[in-house]
C-alpha cells in the first residue's frame, strides 16, 4: 500500500390477537410491518424505522407519515434512547422529558456539562456531534476530550458519514438518523458486528487530534498494549501528542503550528483526501 503524508491548513409495540371483542396483547411479539407514506421500502432508513416502531420507542403520525427528515430535539432523542434501552424511568414533576432526563443522567448518557439542564437546553435540536456523544456513552465509551466522541462513535460503527469522509458534526439530527443510530446501539449491545465507515473514522480522527495516521496506517502502529498502558493511555491512538504539533522558537518570538498531518492511501482511488493533492502531484506519485 503506497501512502503519502501531507500537511494542510486549517448518525415494544405489542401484537394484538382479536377474538370477537376481546383484544389480547403480548409484549414479545412484534407488530406487522407499518406502512408510512413517506418511508417506502426503498428508503435508506426503512428497516430501522420498522424496527423502531415495532419496539415502541417511536411512533408515526396520525396522518400515516413518519416524517423522517424532521429534526429531533435533545429531549426527544434522550427519550428514544432511554425507551429503546429499556432503562428505568421514574415519575417526576415538571416538563414531560424530566423522567427521561433523570434516567439518562443516572445511566451516564447525559452530563450537566453537555448543555444547560433547563427547558431551553433540552428543547434545542440535537446536533450530530451531540448524538455521537450520547451514542458512544450508550455502549460504554468514555473520554474527557469533547472532540473525541465522534471518533469513538464512528470507530464503533454507530455513525457513518453523510458523504465520503464528511461528518457534518454541527448538522441537525433527523428522526430517520435517530432511529438508525439507536438500532445500531441496540445491535452493538448484543455483540453484533457493525459496518464501519473508514472514511468517517479518518475524518473524525483528524478532528480529534489532528491526524488520521492510526486510521489509514494501522499496520504502522503495532505497539504492545503494555507500552501504552504503562504510559497511562487507553489506546495506541492516545500516544499521539497533539501539543507537539506546535513549535515555538527558542527566543519565544515565533510559533508554528501544524494544523493536521494527513495520511493518504494512494492505492485507494476513493480516499477522500486525494483532493488535497494537485493533479500533477497525484500523477507523479502513482507512477
Render each residue's pLDDT in the chain as its tens digit; 287 residues.
555 544 444 433 233 222 333 222 333 333 446 789 999 999 999 999 999 999 999 999 999 999 999 999 999 999 999 999 999 999 999 999 999 999 999 999 999 999 999 999 999 999 999 999 999 999 999 999 999 999 999 999 999 999 899 999 999 999 999 999 999 999 999 999 999 999 999 999 999 999 999 999 998 888 888 888 888 888 889 989 999 999 999 999 999 999 999 999 999 999 999 999 877 555 555 55
CA 195 – CA 161 distance, rounded (Å): 12
Tell me whether residue 118 is exposed, middle or buried, using C-beta atoms within 10 angstroms of its C-beta: 0 to 12, 13 to 18, 19 or more: exposed
Give kind and range of the element (H or E) at residue 198. Answer: helix 198-209
The 8 Å CB, 24+ separation contacts for 31-38 are: 34/60, 35/64, 36/60, 36/64, 36/65, 36/66, 37/64, 37/65, 38/65, 38/66, 38/67, 38/68
DSSP-derived secondary structure letter, 163:
B
Give the pLDDT of residue 249. Answer: 92
What pLDDT does 133 receive?
98
Per-residue cell: 131: 448524538
Quote the CA–CA distance of 269 and 69 in Å, as a whole number.
32
Look at residues 165, 151, 140, 159 and name the one whose alpha carbon lies nearest to residue 210: 151
For the record, the C-alpha cell of 35 comes out as 406502512
Q: Please report, for the chain, how many H helices and E strands are present, in that order.
A: 11, 6
Domain boundaries, the chain: 33-196, 206-286
What CA–CA distance (Å, rounded) separates 17 from 23? 6
Amino acid at each position: 500500500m503506497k501512502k503519502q503524508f501531507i500537511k494542510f491548513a486549517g448518525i415494544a409495540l405489542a401484537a394484538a390477537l382479536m377474538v370477537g371483542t376481546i383484544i389480547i396483547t403480548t409484549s414479545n411479539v412484534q407488530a406487522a410491518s407499518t406502512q408510512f407514506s413517506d418511508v417506502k421500502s426503498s428508503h435508506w432508513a426503512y428497516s430501522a424505522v420498522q424496527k423502531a416502531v415495532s419496539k415502541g420507542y417511536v411512533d408515526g403520525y396520525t396522518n400515516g407519515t413518519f416524517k423522517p427528515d424532521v429534526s429531533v430535539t435533545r429531549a426527544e432523542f434522550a427519550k428514544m434512547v432511554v425507551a429503546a434501552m429499556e432503562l428505568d424511568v421514574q415519575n417526576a414533576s415538571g416538563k414531560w422529558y424530566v423522567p427521561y432526563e433523570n434516567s439518562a443522567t443516572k445511566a451516564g448518557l447525559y452530563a450537566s456539562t453537555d448543555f444547560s439542564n433547563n427547558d431551553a437546553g433540552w428543547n434545542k435540536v440535537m446536533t450530530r456531534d451531540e448524538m455521537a456523544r450520547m451514542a458512544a456513552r450508550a455502549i460504554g465509551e468514555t473520554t474527557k476530550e469533547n472532540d473525541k466522541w465522534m471518533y469513538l462513535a464512528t470507530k464503533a460503527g454507530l455513525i457513518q458519514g453523510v458523504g465520503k469522509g464528511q461528518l457534518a458534526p454541527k448538522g441537525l439530527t433527523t428522526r430517520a438518523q435517530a432511529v438508525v443510530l439507536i438500532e445500531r446501539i441496540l445491535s452493538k449491545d448484543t455483540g453484533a458486528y457493525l459496518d464501519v465507515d473508514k472514511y468517517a473514522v479518518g475524518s473524525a480522527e483528524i478532528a480529534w487530534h489532528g491526524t488520521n495516521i492510526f486510521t489509514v496506517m494501522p499496520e504502522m502502529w503495532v505497539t504492545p498494549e503494555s507500552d501504552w498502558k504503562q504510559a497511562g493511555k487507553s489506546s495506541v491512538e492516545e500516544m499521539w501528542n497533539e501539543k507537539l504539533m506546535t513549535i515555538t522558537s527558542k527566543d519565544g518570538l515565533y510559533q508554528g503550528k501544524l494544523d493536521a498531518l494527513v495520511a493518504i492511501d494512494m492505492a485507494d482511488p476513493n480516499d477522500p483526501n486525494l483532493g488535497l493533492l494537485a493533479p500533477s502531484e497525484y500523477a507523479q506519485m502513482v507512477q
